């Protein structure tokens, strides 16, 4: 299969590219700074916030292969801190990368798959797209946007053989923690005294989380599946339980549990 993955320099993207290439798929991946390259993977330099670069990336794959069987939207970033202190520029940048980056690619890729009458669209969301996470509100908002977009897209494309799949990871040990743009001014900590303890808990869960290869293995199985599910929560048992609790518990009770977990009470 011809697979296009966004953001393969590190973390999930690198693990997926490595696994899928080793299995014999033809893998293309976007990057801004490639780092050490994976043998057999074609690297395409592209900024997902630049529509011309996105279009050129899709055109390159289509010209070389004539089709795109699987598109994996993986590239993303995160802002951390109290929403009160997040600037409009921060919010705009968060959505531009995590949500509009996906939209730019799908505007080009959906017509290709529709003409093929088949294809898989796999987008990396987050359990933060199922529940609003404290001090990660912009990130959660961008992932909620992905979830809503995919629900609509799934309905619109159901007659064209296109499978639209949302991946909802929990905490994984990737480079995401160190690259998060967290607000750290003294006035922020003064206004929100529990912020430091909550952020420390968040970072501990991430750095001790699952390895990205675990997710890559799951993606491999999804690609091979003829009838994949619409959603996959890929997380620790405790985080999977949290997702279930969000669905079945009264909202105020779940809010108390989440506040306790993130050291807000």
CA-nearest of 83, 64, 137, 76 to 101 is 76
263 exposure class (CB count in 10 Å sphere: 0-12, 13-18, 19+):
middle
* CA dihedral over 96, 37, 235, 5, signed as positive or negative: positive
Note whether 196 and 189 are within 8 A (CB): yes
Report the C-alpha gap between 42 and 6 in whole angstroms.
12
Which one of the listed residues 79, 143, 163, 232 is annotated catalytic?
Answer: 143
In 122-194, where does DSSP find H-type helix? 137-156, 176-179, 186-191
Which one of the listed residues 28, 79, 139, 232 is annotated catalytic?
Answer: 139
125 tagged catalytic: yes
| Angle, alpha carbons 142-19-102 (nearest 5°) | 20
Which one of the listed residues 21, 125, 142, 198 is annotated catalytic?
Answer: 125
200 tagged catalytic: no
Q: Give catalytic residues, as residue numbers.
A: 9, 125, 139, 143
């Amino acid at each position: 299969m011809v697979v296009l993955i966004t953001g393969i320099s590190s973390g999930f993207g690198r693990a997926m590219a490595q696994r899928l290439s080793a299995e014999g798929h033809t893998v293309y991946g976007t990057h801004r700074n490639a780092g050490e390259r994976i043998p057999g993977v074609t690297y395409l330099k592209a900024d997902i916030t630049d529509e011309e670069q996105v279009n050129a990336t899709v055109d390159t794959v289509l010209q070389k292969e004539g089709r795109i069987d699987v598109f994996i939207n993986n590239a993303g970033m995160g802002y951390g801190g109290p929403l009160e202190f997040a600037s409009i520029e921060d919010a705009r940048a968060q959505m531009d990368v995590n949500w509009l980056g996906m939209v730019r690619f799908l505007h080009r890729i959906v017509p290709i798959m529709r003409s093929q009458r088949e294809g898989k669209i796999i987008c990396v969301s987050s359990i933060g797209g199922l529940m609003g996470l404290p001090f990660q509100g912009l990130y959660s908002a961008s992932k909620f946007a992905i979830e809503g977009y995919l629900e609509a897209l799934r309905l619109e494309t159901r007659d064209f053989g296109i499978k639209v799949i949302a991946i909802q990871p929990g905490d994984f040990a990737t480079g995401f923690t160190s690259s998060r743009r967290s607000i750290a001014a003294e006035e922020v900590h003064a206004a929100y005294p529990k912020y430091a303890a909550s952020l420390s808990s968040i970072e501990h869960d991430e750095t001790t989380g699952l390895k990205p290869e675990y997710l890559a293995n799951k993606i491999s199985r999804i690609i091979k599946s003829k009838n994949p599910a619409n959603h996959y929560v890929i997380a620790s048992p405790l985080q999977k339980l949290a997702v279930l609790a969000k669905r079945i518990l009264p909202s105020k009770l779940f809010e108390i549990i989440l506040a306790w977990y993130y050291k807000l009470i």
